[in-house]
A and B are shown apart, each in its own frame.
Chain A
Amino acid sequence: MDTNIPRTVPRKSATFDDYTLSEIRRAASTGIYDIRGGGAKRRLPHFDDLLFLGASMSRYPLEGYREKCGTNVVLGTRFAKKPIELKIPITIAGMSFGSLSAQAKEALGRGASIAGTSTTTGDGGMTPEERGQSKTLVYQYLPSRYGMNPDDLRKADAIEVVVGQGAKPGGGGMLLGQKISDRVAQMRCLPKGIDQRSACRHPDWTGPDDLEIKIHELREITNWEKPIFIKVGGARPFYDVALSVKAGADVVVVDGMQGGTAATQEVFIEHVGQPTLACIRPAVAALQELGMHRKVQLIVSGGIRNGADVAKALALGADAVSIGTAALVALGDNDPRWEAEYEKLGSTAGAYDDWHEGRDPAGITTQDPELSKRLDPVLAGRRLANYLKVMTLEAQTIARACGKSHVHNLEPEDLVALTVEAAAMAQVPLAGTSWIPGK
């Protein structure tokens, strides 16, 4: 054989890439689908595909640090006697005690309170630590009704009826047995150590007509004081938002597929639902068509990472955003300081997502008392508050550059898109053109 003949380099398949091959081998070896936490990891059209234009000849900017740029938001002005007012338009998304340690929940409450915003319970009920440290607390009303009771309902500042979430629209939840400590088991009325399934549908209502009656009941029990949120996964945002308004929501939360979960099937996270960017304009269009934009507030979540993302979501018509994954990272999740331990778990800092196993080195997605102790709730709360402050300052910086005295004055006309896909989803022109796909 002539060894001088040039050879092509080994070529791996774009279809059967390394991750795909490893997943096939893992599935063949175990017979179980992959379960993990977090949101969609695949590359998706996102806020990075949008740019702000800034001010120039046709509009003038506001002076940074000198001219005021408001950030407050009032949620629940439609029916609730006591709407909630937040200093910043960034809230903390629902994450359960059970999926998170008590220390992590306390830290979320502390950080949110310092920053002047709200935090949200999760599937599993309200803990005293969380209520005690959260100036404004949203109480989730979920299909499982774990820990649900009228006393906590009345202690809440708002109620969020969870219809779905972006990571798994149409799916329920699963807290695996290894995370079911005595306390978690007691709060959920189930034996210790068994898998706790959260249903995908509510047990006593089906569809928007019933939900309207359910919301009426919740309002009666709480004397019509609390704002009622409805949270939907990013499935059919136009119709879901319209039906939420019909059902009597004060606030609608739309969670795109980058929004995280404590644990579900990888195939669910990556293949069901729509990207956050694709959800906002249909949601806003539904509100506008009903004459309810800004009257029923829209909160958008799923992959919000910085002030630019906040500003872009608001410019597209949201009243506020919500963060979950980013908040956990601010607390200390996936921190490189724990790299040696992530490696022992077969992962690496930045990629660790086996939250359901309860072995989180950072002490956040665990019920292990020793691991949980690693998280100082005061310090972690401070870190979250700092992060929220930075995001707010970034959003204000952009808003001022666009000549806006309040972040809610940002508008789609302030944006262009870098890709045809983003232009179509966000309904803003492709950069350098006046072309909006579909218009």
Chain B
Amino acid sequence: MIELDLKSEGVRGVNSRLHSLPKNTNQRHWLLKNPQGQHAIACGLDGPFTVEIAGHVGFYCGGMNKEAEIIIHGHAGVGVAENMMSGLVRVTGNASESAGATGNGGLLVIEGDASSRCGISMKGIDIVVGGSVGHMSAFMAQRGNLVVCGDAGEALGDSIYEARLYVKGRAENLGADCIEKEMRAEHREELEKLLERAKIKAKVKDFRRYGSARQLYNFNIDHADAY
């Protein structure tokens, strides 16, 4: 494992080192020390590297990640793993707003809680949250899966498209066009795999599934009250 000190090298220095790695490098395991809540740490990575961060990070850590495995040993600020394309981002603590926003692929695991707008406009990413999520989570979620092992805040899945939401705890207040849906065998199988990949222990039978009623997919004046 190669160590880099974010305090002495700065975010620019560290990101520059990681961005310059060829995909076939042997330098595959990195430890970033002293993050001190700095922003944009390990964003834009593009390759099968493992980057561990020893401490709390600021905004947009792991943003637009491709292929890399990023493990944050602490809490994460706004927009962790935003627009991720592939790979894995794991937060051992809690995550702030907009975790996994607009993500296209890969897996985001938040072992603690996630704040509001978790999975907003998600486009194919899978997100597994060990705790609860805040209000407006999965707002306009297009594709992918959001698994919440705790409770979901207000207006879950507002204006949702084709994303699938699995909630173990309470999700009493659903957003516009979001409804509870039947949990079929295919969904149980999918959820089982997601929990396994995320290394989060929970029983599939305890979850409920939510998704789009597809009533707002094409504008209809008679549905104006729903907006």
Contacts and interface: CB of A to CB of B under 8 A. Distances in A.
B164 to A, nearest CB: 14
Interface residues of B, number: 42
B82 interface: yes
Contacts of A189: 104, 123-124, 142-143
A204 B82 contact: yes
A203 B102 contact: yes
Interface in B34-50: 39-40, 43-44, 46
Consensus secondary structure, chain A interface? loop
A305 interface: no
Interface stretch (B11-19, B165-173, B186-194): B11-19
Contact of B121 (A32, A144, A213, A224): A144
A205 to B, nearest CB: 7
Q: How large is the interface on A (under 10, 10 to 19, 20 to 34, 35 or more residues)?
A: 20 to 34
A216 B40 contact: yes
Interface stretch (A43-51, A192-200, A250-258, A306-314): A192-200
Contact of B159 (A148, A176, A197): A197
A377 B121 CA distance: 34
A139 to B, nearest CB: 13
A386 to B, nearest CB: 39
B159 A204 contact: no
A210 interface: yes
B140 A199 contact: yes
A150 interface: yes
Interface in B165-222: 217-219, 221
Interface in B62-100: 63-64, 66, 78-79, 82-83, 85, 97-98
A150 B117 contact: no
Contact of B101 (A195, A204, A213): A204
Contacts of B15: 220
In the A-B complex, the 10 residue pairs with the smallest Cβ-Cβ separation, listed nearest first, are: A221-B44, A204-B79, A204-B98, A145-B102, A194-B217, A189-B123, A217-B40, A150-B64, A217-B60, A203-B120
Interface of A: 30-32, 144-145, 148-150, 153, 174, 176-177, 188-191, 193-195, 197, 199, 203-205, 210, 213-214, 216-217, 220-224
17 contacts: A32-B221, A144-B121, A150-B46, A189-B124, A194-B218, A203-B117, A203-B121, A204-B78, A204-B97, A204-B117, A210-B59, A213-B58, A214-B59, A217-B60, A217-B63, A221-B44, A222-B44
